[in-house]
Chains A and B, each alone.
Chain A
Amino acid sequence: MLEKRTHKAENLNVLINLLRDRQNFLEEINQGIRLPNKINSLLVSSSVCFALYGLIIGASHSWMQSLSSAIKFPAFYLLTLMICFPTLFFFNILFGSRSTLLQHLAVLLTAVSVISVLLFSFAPVTLFFLITTPNSYQFFKILNVLIFLITGFFGVKFLYEGMQILSKQNENGKKTRTFIVQSWLILYGLIGMQLGWFLRPFFGSPGSQFELFRAIQGNFYLDIIEAFAEVFGFK
């Protein structure tokens, strides 16, 4: 029991460390100091934050939806990462990166953890809108899309920074590698959207029955446009 607790405290510590002094944290990754430990803690803490946020957005429908979202949401972010990770790693290696697999994984995980913490910090706002406006499903959806956009933007920014530090030592092919990271981000986005669409529903449209997965149909962009159309009253 006690051991477990200290373990938790350690995980939290790594996260706070990452947030407070990113420069040093990334430098430590670059030097390969206690990498497995770091990766574990980042994985655990980011899953917890994602799960909490998933719990909240699922609660707009029912408790079952809320549970399923709490599992789906971390799975969504982390699975996408795992799916896209080998591409980035091997391409980077191909163009002269000297960093190890674990180092790459750690940098990617830092970006995801930053996203998870920011989402966690928006959680009270989301919860508030969930409580006060129970009937405006589409508004809730758009609000969440906005929040995901903001948090994702910061995550991407930190991914860049981390990759810059990883490839600091060998200037050889640095430009290409930056380009690789950029293209990889697009890949990540595409995969993420598809996976997200596949894992639906996260929110659960009100009045519908609980379903673990929805029959595959439609398209992410169309749905967002429809949501806007409904809020603006074109429909």
Chain B
Amino acid sequence: MQQKSKGIKYFGTLTSLLRDRDSFLEEVKEGVRLPSKIISLLVCSSLFLSIYGAIIGAYHSWMQALSSAVKLPVLYLITLLICLPTLFFANIIFGSKRTFGQFFAIVLTAVSITSVLLFSFASISLFFMISTNHYQFIILINVIIFSITGFIGVSFLSKAANVVLEQEPDKIREKSLEDNLEYKLEQNQEQNREQNLEYKLEQNLEQNQEYNLEQNLDKESEILIEQDFIKFSKEDLQDNSKHKLNKDDNGSKIRQKIVKYWLFLYAFVGIQLGWSLRPFFGTPGSPFQLFREREGNIYVSIIQSLAYLLGIR
């Protein structure tokens, strides 16, 4: 009974993500119940991915189905874990104030979206598997499904990154700057007042009333000058704070770029991991194997086969 309600809770997080993405991201941004969100996203996405994995493996045999059901979630989630530190530290270096949990959450949302979409394609994939016997066609259709879902997941990731990583020009710092400014102004004014008072006192003590008129004129001009000074210092401070805000703006642009470049890293690692985890489908007629014998590095293989095609070797 309890387990059931737990399952419903996990599912609830996912549907809330799907239904009302904006408020979900807003919650991630504010760090509301992050651990529970992360866990439920993890559970949901691995569940959906393993269902899809089981379906594509079922084309070969039930053993292949089982192994694919494990391999497919592993492929998506391990790649994520491998690449996450790079994203986190690179963002921190460019002034992000988000926590590791928040980064984990937004990247997981992208994977969850992909997994849900894959799940929604599962019936179509299953239908083609039952109705056709053509291995290459099934591979082709799956590649298309994977690229569509992956593309939507990625576009969602960049949107989520925009929402969550966007730091409104640092309210706290801005406030402290303003406070600083006011404080300095007050200090200046107080100083001026004190100086004026002392000055007046001295003047009164030292000088006759005849002199007073001239002194008053002098004082007035002095006060004017000081007011000018205050004005300038205020402008200066404001300029400074603007400069800092601009700087932060610059940082947020760089951070968005980092997310984009990080996707390449994710793909780079994911391709290699997919290569090492093969087979997912299992060629029909071949005996079941958990892993194919290691063919090493996919990039080296690609370059070598290219070289072979071009006749360099």
Looking at A16-24, A35-43, A61-69, A194-202, the stretch in contact with chain B turns out to be A16-24
Cβ < 8 Å to B, chain A residues 99-137: 114, 117-118, 120-125, 127-129, 132-136
Please state if B88 and A133 are interface contacts (CB–CB under 8 Å): no
Known contacts A21-B95, A231-B300, A233-B303, A121 near B81 by CB under 8 Å: no
In Å, the complex CA distance between A117 and B91 comes to 12
Tell me if B128 counts as interface (CB < 8 A to partner A): no
Please state if A20 and B86 are interface contacts (CB–CB under 8 Å): no
Please state if A19 and B313 are interface contacts (CB–CB under 8 Å): no
Interface string of B263-278 (1 = CB under 8 A from A): 0010001001101100
Name the residue in A20, A21, A118, A132 with the highest tally of chain B Cβ atoms < 10 Å from its Cβ.
Answer: A132
Tell me if B18 counts as interface (CB < 8 A to partner A): no
Please state if B82 and A125 are interface contacts (CB–CB under 8 Å): yes
Give the distance to chain A from B177, nearest Cβ to Cβ, in Å: 12
Please state if B269 and A120 are interface contacts (CB–CB under 8 Å): no
Tell me if B184 counts as interface (CB < 8 A to partner A): no
Tell me if A77 counts as interface (CB < 8 A to partner B): no
Please state if A124 and B304 are interface contacts (CB–CB under 8 Å): no
Tell me if B8 counts as interface (CB < 8 A to partner A): no
Please state if B93 and A154 are interface contacts (CB–CB under 8 Å): yes
Please state if B89 and A23 are interface contacts (CB–CB under 8 Å): no
In Å, the complex CA distance between A161 and B90 comes to 17
A residues less than 8 Å from B273 (CB atoms):
128, 132
Task: Select one of B84, B90, B294, B300 contacting A139, CB under 8 A.
Answer: B300
Tell me if A232 counts as interface (CB < 8 A to partner B): yes
Interface residues on A, range: 20 to 34
| Pair count A-B, CB < 8 A | 81
Give the distance to chain A from B173, nearest Cβ to Cβ, in Å: 9
Interface string of B281-310 (1 = CB under 8 A from A): 000000000000010110110011001000
B residues less than 8 Å from A16 (CB atoms):
92
B residues less than 8 Å from A114 (CB atoms):
93
Give the distance to chain B from A130, nearest Cβ to Cβ, in Å: 11
B residues less than 8 Å from A21 (CB atoms):
95
Please state if B89 and A121 are interface contacts (CB–CB under 8 Å): yes
B residues less than 8 Å from A231 (CB atoms):
300, 303
Tell me if A179 counts as interface (CB < 8 A to partner B): no
Tell me if A234 counts as interface (CB < 8 A to partner B): yes
Please state if B86 and A136 are interface contacts (CB–CB under 8 Å): no
Please state if B86 and A125 are interface contacts (CB–CB under 8 Å): yes
A residues less than 8 Å from B307 (CB atoms):
232-233
In Å, the complex CA distance between A151 and B90 comes to 10
Task: Select one of A127, A135, A233 contacting B312, CB under 8 A.
Answer: A233
Known contacts A128-B273, A135-B296, A232-B303, A22 near B86 by CB under 8 Å: no
Main secondary structure of the interface of B (DSSP, over half): helix
Please state if B276 and A117 are interface contacts (CB–CB under 8 Å): no
Give the distance to chain B from A214, nearest Cβ to Cβ, in Å: 25
Tell me if B85 counts as interface (CB < 8 A to partner A): yes
Please state if A117 and B89 are interface contacts (CB–CB under 8 Å): yes
In Å, the complex CA distance between A154 and B89 comes to 12
Name the residue in B85, B265, B273, B297 with the highest tally of chain A Cβ atoms < 10 Å from its Cβ.
Answer: B297
Please state if B81 and A20 are interface contacts (CB–CB under 8 Å): no
In Å, the complex CA distance between A125 and B84 comes to 10
Please state if A19 and B85 are interface contacts (CB–CB under 8 Å): no
- Please give me the residue from chain B that is nearest to A21 by CB atom: B95
Please state if A23 and B244 are interface contacts (CB–CB under 8 Å): yes
B residues less than 8 Å from A154 (CB atoms):
93
B residues less than 8 Å from A133 (CB atoms):
272, 276, 296-297, 300
Give the distance to chain A from B2, nearest Cβ to Cβ, in Å: 36
Name the residue in B294, B299, B303, B304 with the highest tally of chain A Cβ atoms < 10 Å from its Cβ.
Answer: B299
Give the distance to chain A from B89, nearest Cβ to Cβ, in Å: 4
Known contacts A133-B272, A136-B296, A139-B297, A121 near B95 by CB under 8 Å: no
Please state if B89 and A139 are interface contacts (CB–CB under 8 Å): no
Tell me if B231 counts as interface (CB < 8 A to partner A): no
Please state if B93 and A19 are interface contacts (CB–CB under 8 Å): yes
Give the distance to chain A from B129, nearest Cβ to Cβ, in Å: 29
Give the distance to chain B from A49, nearest Cβ to Cβ, in Å: 10
In Å, the complex CA distance between A133 and B271 comes to 13
- What are 7 A-to-B residue pairs whose CB atoms are below 8 Å? A117-B93, A118-B89, A127-B82, A133-B272, A139-B297, A231-B300, A233-B312
Given A117-B89, A121-B90: 6 more A-B contacts, CB < 8 Å:
A123-B85, A125-B82, A127-B82, A135-B294, A231-B300, A233-B307
- 7 nearest interchain CB pairs? A121-B89, A133-B297, A233-B307, A136-B297, A132-B276, A121-B85, A124-B82
